[in-house]
């Protein structure tokens, strides 16, 4: 039973890291490939310090990592399967949004 509690605690930490819409959007951007903090800030239309704070939360959650390449700092998802999870969430939500729009049209 202790293993289950540890697993659920890990799940909760991941969901907590993704609970913020900006962090969730960051994950989606990083699932498409590694990016610099400047690229992420520009894509989200927020400041670099703001992006850095959100990336730190995602890093503590074990979702992203930082690396250096050609003198640049790059951020990327740790496990490529996270990209599949992002796509699945998009699929589920797209259906839900379509159903809501259909109900509103009636």
Each residue's pLDDT tens digit, 58-69: 999 899 999 999
Q: Which residues contact 18 (CB under 8 A, 6 or more apart)?
A: 24, 27, 61, 63
Considering the entire predicted model, what is its pTM?
A: 0.79
Structural domains in the chain, sorted by start = 2-105 (1.10.10.10)
Residue 55 burial (CB < 10 Å; 0-12/13-18/19+)? buried
Each residue's pLDDT tens digit, 8-56: 888 888 888 888 999 989 998 998 899 999 999 999 999 999 999 999 9
């Amino acid at each position: 039973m202790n293993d289950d509690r540890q697993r659920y605690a890990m799940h909760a930490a991941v969901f907590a890291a993704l609970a913020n819409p900006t962090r969730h959007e960051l994950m989606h951007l990083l699932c498409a490939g590694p990016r610099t903090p400047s690229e992420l800030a520009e894509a989200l239309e927020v400041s670099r310090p703001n992006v850095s704070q959100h990336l730190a939360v995602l890093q503590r959650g074990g979702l992203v990592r930082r690396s250096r390449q050609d003198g640049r700092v790059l951020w990327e998802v740790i496990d490529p399967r996270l990209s599949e999870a992002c796509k699945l969430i998009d699929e589920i939500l797209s259906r839900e949004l379509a159903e809501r729009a259909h109900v509103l049209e009636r």
